Amino acid sequence: MKKFYSIVVICILVGCKKDIPKPIPVAKKKVPEIILTDERKVEIDTATISTFKSETLKEFYIASENQTVWGNLKKRKFVLSQLENSSNLGLEPEDYKTSQLKKFESKIGKLNDKDLATYDILLTYNFEKYLSHLYKGKLDPKKIYSNWDLDEKTFDVNNVLIKAFNRDKLDSIVENIQPKTQTYKELLKALEIINTFPDDDIKTIESADKIVLKDTNPALINIKKRLLYWNDMTGKDSLTKIYDQKTFESVKRFQERHGLAADGVIGAGTISALNYSKESRKKQIIANLERWRWYPSELAENYFIINIPDYSLNVVENQDTTLVRNVVVGTIKRRTPIITSFLKTVVFNPTWTVPPTILKEDVVPAMKRNRSYLAKKNITIYDTSGNEVDPVKWNENKPNNYRYVQSPGYNNSLGLMKILFPNHHSVYLHDTNHRNIFGRNNRSMSSGCVRVENPLELAQHILDVDGNWPQDRIDTIIASKKTMSFKITKKYALYQWYWTAWSKKNQLLFRADIYNLDSDLYAQLRN
């Protein structure tokens, strides 16, 4: 009997062991099978495919059982026309070997099997590259910028391409994979508009002095030529050296298009904008197109979008712009980072802890000159144990051993409110104690955070979902001078981005490239 029980136990144990489930491998997304026609096709040597070092290319031809696929003239012509006209989308045709492909096509009937296979591979490889560039850009922003927080865009190019190929709908694929955002469409329109302008040969405008209405200045001749060229001035002009009323109105139109103070005064900023050539502006548009391909292809239902060089914040809800605010952004040394995130919390009466960069560059030098510097700003020093430190006993040789906190109030550096959102840069949106700066033209003045005009109205707008946030409730909180935090219940995305060109109503619009990103990006695109 004991022997019998032993056998039963062994059987149970063995049975349990067999029933232990094995880890299920993650299935790789299957590439659709390519439907081939009866047109001429040849076998492809897999060694030739391997020379391209492209997994997507290899998978593409596995789906066709390593046979050529571009036997259909209509499909071939479509791919060739797309690559040849890629410049209309801000791309470079020779990045896709357009000249080489056209040579193959010109002698298609005379190609031997090996050359036909090579042509087929080149068509696929370059069309896949083109589609990838359209969807997520030619360059990887993570390899260019250390302070850009953008989610990586993934693209299953084979799945998209083969489905369109099989359904004979290649003509829709290019439009479908491009960003759907309005600014991207406006940039494509801007490229179309600028291509209508003739080549320009207007000399550089040089003027050390400001030019105001009724002034006489020889620089006005070339200024008028520029205004006529860009259609800010219409009709014929005598091109005199006199700053007349017609030119004055034209200058204001030009200034408005470029985000300058539209006061008609021709100063350094206006001269600088006037001196941009057609080619320079076209490069700027192309750089911005690339940047917009890095951003999400579609935007959330409700969102804040900040254009850093435009110093603007727009609140968009259900495709309707509900609020517009002027903002202040970081200086070129303390740049506002590019971020895609979501709004989380509103904090009223915030304290402000001095960040390391400001401590090093501003506070420490000031404290060494005057120990009462922080007290005047209502900033308290704390040691590592949280004890308050007398400024007289502050150790200037070990400034990082302390925490520096400014009390809440109207004159707090963050003002009366801040909005928090997850990010790796310790930045947020906030009020400011310098409330007179929003009328300035150049508002690249902060230490990286974005300062917002009329922030309490903005806070009420995003908190008051159910009518529980009347103005007097916010007034009471502010009057208490107590720090209070409130969760934002309505879901808002935050897009804190950078673009310096677009179009509106067939007009080209530009902004100063405050972080000097455009020309460098264009140069990398053309390398």
CB 44 within 8 A of CB 117: yes
By C-alpha distance, which of 40, 49, 217, 26 is closest to 121? 49
Residue 297 sits at φ, ψ, to 5 deg, of -70, -30
Question: What 8-state DSSP symbol labels residue 362?
Answer: I
CB 137 within 8 A of CB 293: yes
User: What percent of the residues of the chain are helix, what percent strand, and what percent coil, each to the nearest 5?
Assistant: 45, 15, 40
CB 272 within 8 A of CB 76: no
CB 462 within 8 A of CB 343: yes
Rounded-to-integer distance, Cα 366 and Cα 370, Å: 6
CB 391 within 8 A of CB 369: no
For residue 212, CA distances in Å to 202, 243, 399 come to 22, 7, 50
Question: What 8-state DSSP symbol labels residue 386?
Answer: S
Residue 419 makes CB contacts below 8 A (sequence gap 6+) with: 343, 345, 346, 347, 428, 429, 430, 458, 459, 462, 488
Task: Record the tokens describing residue 197, joined without a space.
Answer: 């302008």
Vertex 80: Cα angle to 159 and 74 (nearest 5): 80
Rounded-to-integer distance, Cα 395 and Cα 391, Å: 9
Residue 276 sits at φ, ψ, to 5 deg, of -70, 130
CA count, 13 A, side-chain hemisphere, 400: 4
Torsion angle defined by CA atoms of residues 223, 227, 233 and 236, in that order, rounded to the nearest 10 degrees: 70
- Catalytic residue list contains 11: no
Name the catalytic one among 11, 258, 449, 461: 449
74 by DSSP, 3-state: which? helix
Task: Record the tokens describing residue 388, joined without a space.
Answer: 């308050």
Vertex 402: Cα angle to 400 and 403 (nearest 5): 110
CB 171 within 8 A of CB 74: no
- Phi-psi label, residue 415: left if phi above 0, alpha if psi -120 to 50, beta otherwise: left
Question: What 8-state DSSP symbol labels residue 395?
Answer: -
CB 243 within 8 A of CB 216: yes
Rounded-to-integer distance, Cα 121 and Cα 109, Å: 17
- Catalytic residue list contains 258: no
Name the catalytic one among 258, 425, 430, 434: 430
Amino acid at 221: I
Residue 189 makes CB contacts below 8 A (sequence gap 6+) with: 503, 506
188 by DSSP, 3-state: which? helix
Active site residues: 430, 449
